[in-house]
Amino acid sequence: MSTANVAEREAVEQAEPELIPGSTSNVRSFVAPSEIQQAIGFAPELTEGWEQRAIAKMGELLKKYRSLQVFMDACVHCGACTDKCHYYLGTRDPNNMPVARQELMRSVYRRYFTPAGKLFPKLVGARDLTKEVLEEWYTYYYQCSECRRCSVFCPYGIDTAEVTMAAREIMNSVGLGQKYSAEIIGKVHRIGNNLGLNPAALRNTLEGLEEELKEETGLDIRFPLDEKGAEVLLVTPSADFFAEPHIYSLIGYAKVFHAAGISWTLSTKASEGGNFGLFIGNYDQLRRIALRIREAALELGVKRIVVGECGHAWRVAYSFWNTLIGVGAGSDDPYGQMLQKQLDPRYPQPAHICEVTYDLLERGAIKVDPSANDHLTITFHDSCNVARASRMGKHPEGQFEIPRAIIRKVANKFVEMAPETTREKTFCCGGGGGLLTDELLEVRIKGAKPRMDALRAVAESDGVNFMATICAICKAQFTKVLPEYGFKKSVVGGVHQLVSNAILLGSSY
Amino acid sequence: MMSWLFYAAFLLFAVGMGLKLWQYATTPAPLKIPTTPAPTTTAGVIWRMTKEVTLFASLFKANLLLWLFAVLFHGGLLLVTLRHLRYFLDPVPAVIVWLQPFGIYGGIAMVIGLFGLWARRFLSARVRYISTLSDHLWLVLLLFLGVSGLVMTFFWHPDVIALKQYVQGVVRFAPQPFPSDPLLMAHLVAFFALLALFPFSKLLHAPGVFFSPTRNQADDPRERRHLAPWAAALEKEVS
């Protein structure tokens, strides 16, 4: 892009007003058809009396989640979060300011659950739950990617993701669901993964990969499926099985296990790391989807559970699996102990694939030739759920250090993007939290702007031509939006794609 | 009359806060949701929370000017509150005596901070958009308290000996007549309003921050199984 264009664009940006009310009020995800809603146990459609049922549901959630109760009360409208959301920055729609997004629900909370809102609604900004308010909820709670960037800056730690999840849960309970999330949840229960890849097709794909790698390397690098007695169960997003660039990371995982001599397996039952139960804030779905992993681990008798490159899957695995399905340590109940006895306590359970690879690299158990990546100047995009909702390694910030340490080992040229856009302050790709659907493309493109601006800066200053990331949604979203910002699709890829390029296999060392 | 207001305000505050604290303390947090990177131990969590409530660490990251006004206001208010303890304690502890002049500086800082916070509600388009009428009224109330306090300190000196006798009477449940001073009366009534409305308003951010799961949870989900009672019940259903 020429400098004249950049100057022109900057001039336009400066002229843009701070707020453009309603600028994305017309961008709405498709509503889930009643049969899809019903199939996953939600009310099929909005019917008479939905208002009371929604308020009752809100009351139930306020009693079940302290986060929601405290977050509804504690906000003082200080404005610290107002310029922190990538969707606000990209769209300038005031309802995309985190506090305003929360306020869509808080105004209703005040009306029905606080004395001030019951007595003086106008004074405190309380509103009845009407069809119009519900429409606003549906629009703007599906323009939040639950990335938690606002929660970093809030003086009370108010996390809009918790509010968004509660709002989606309430809407689902009265029959207003989102087609994209509901369809995917249906598929994971019916077929075992979000993309609806059946066991035969999965086996076929994996065999194809084995043949391809045999031709390329002359080695028998395996992609085992449902192999009892394997050491490691790998749970990875199903996009890794065929989407580009995801599949290059899957090849990377296989090469790592091969080179290190670790027996591993995938599972047809647990052929999905993603868990959209998180996105819709439904504990029951979150738990039922996670239970597949528990069942697969028990059936296959594995000693370790490792999670592939997927942001929200890692949040669910790292932060919630111990709670939901007893993968982890420190439980004294029979349910939790069942898996604890089977899993090897010398390893963190679950482990991220980056923790595994980093450990092997540190110990010299796998060898790499970083010059294999010399055609690339690499930067790293921290994915929100990894950065702000999980950890790797033994110390806080390991989730930032470990992927970077891997990249530095497997490549020679690494450049950081601006510090206000990385690590805990990273910007969402714009497609997370259940927004990776075509009808939301406008907000996805606009929401990617802060990240794209940061990428452009290092592309121009340092010649960065590869942005590594460890999230299937980030990869899919960037593949779609990079061209909109004048980049090639191939600029995005996985950390294990780089590992795959550089790893030394078999007799070659 | 003033004494009844005094008791009513304190009672509303105590009962309202008690109920809210009880609600926050007994509502479970079923999932581990600390905003990471987060401390991995309880000691670390205490340190994080201390930085949060004394230095406003997160706000510092967000917006320096807002942080400055917030620190001026809250820091000032703390000093002012300590200064006012001289009316409630008898004899007045040496440290409170020593603190008296700082209480005055605190009053000035508090008013500057409040004007800054109020100005943002008009001057910033984003903050203007999210401000409600009650947001403005809280600032008016606090500014009235601060400004009337400063006026009484510097220009319109009330009979502080009589005030002390009055407050001592109230805290010993033997009310005396209130010194007849309209500005002092208005200052006190404003304080009662603040106290009585505290548990029913956004002032709940003060206790709320201590219960915020994103700030008060340790990052140790792989090491310890975290299970809320209602979530544990789900496991019994299955097995």
Segments making up each domain of chain A, as ranges: 10-177, 192-354, 368-508
pLDDT for A17: 83
| Mean pLDDT, residues B185-192 | 97
Q: Tell me the residues of chain B between 164 and 193 that have a Cβ less than 8 Å away from chain A.
A: none
Q: Quick check: A123 contacting B, CB < 8 Å?
A: yes
**B214 and A CB contact within 8 Å:** yes
Q: Over chain A (509 residues), what is each successive 10-residue block's mean pLDDT?
A: 50 71 97 95 94 98 98 98 98 98 98 97 95 98 98 98 98 97 94 88 96 95 97 97 96 98 96 96 96 96 98 98 94 90 95 98 97 98 98 97 98 98 98 97 98 98 98 98 97 98 78
Looking at residue A14, its pLDDT comes to 56
The rounded Cα B137 to chain-centroid distance in angstroms is 16
Best B71, B117, B126 residue to mutate vs chain A (most A CBs within 10 Å):
B126
Tokens of B173: 């449940």
> Which residues numbered 141-170 in A keep a CB inside 8 Å of some CB on B?
148, 151-159, 162
Confidence at residue B192, expressed as pLDDT on a 0 to 100 scale: 97
pLDDT digits (tens, 9 = 90+) for B14-24: 999 999 999 99
Q: Quick check: A309 contacting B, CB < 8 Å?
A: no
Q: Whole-prediction pTM value? A: 0.95
* Inter-chain CB proximity A64 and B131 less than 8 Å: no
Compute the distance between CA of residue B126 and CA of residue B120 in angstroms, rounded to an integer. Answer: 9
pLDDT at A332: 87
ipTM summary value: 0.96
Residue A507 C-alpha, separation from nearest chain B C-alpha, in angstroms: 38
Number of Cα atoms under 13 Å in the Cβ half of residue B20: 29
* CA A271 – CA A237 distance, rounded (Å): 7
Helix/strand/coil for A31: strand
How far apart are the C-alpha atoms of A348 and A346, rounded to whole Å?
A: 7
Asked if pLDDT for residue B166 goes beyond 60, the answer is yes
- Where are the domains positioned within chain B? 2-238
Contacts of A319 in chain B (CB under 8 A): 31-33, 221
Q: What is the SS3 string spanning A72-136?
A: HHHCCCCCCCCCCCHHHHHHCCHHHCHHHHHHHHHHHHHHHHCHHHHHCHHHHCCCCCCHHHHHH
% of chain B at pLDDT higher than 70: 99
Structural contact between residues A468 and A407, judged by C-beta atoms closer than 8 angstroms: yes
Interface contact B126, partner A, CB < 8 A: yes
Confidence of residue B161 (pLDDT cuts 50, 70, 90): very high
Q: Which pLDDT belongs to residue B1?
A: 80
- Partner-chain contact A78 B213, CB within 8 Å: no
pLDDT at A507: 55
Q: How many CA atoms lie within 13 A of A299 on its CB side?
A: 15
Superfamily of domain B2-238: Transmembrane di-heme cytochromes, Chain C (1.20.950.20)
Q: Does A7 touch chain B (CB under 8 A)?
A: no
pLDDT of B177 above 60: yes
Q: Is B229 on the interface with A (CB under 8 A)?
A: no
Mutate to test the interface with B, among A20, A62, A66, A397 (most CBs of B within 10 A): A66
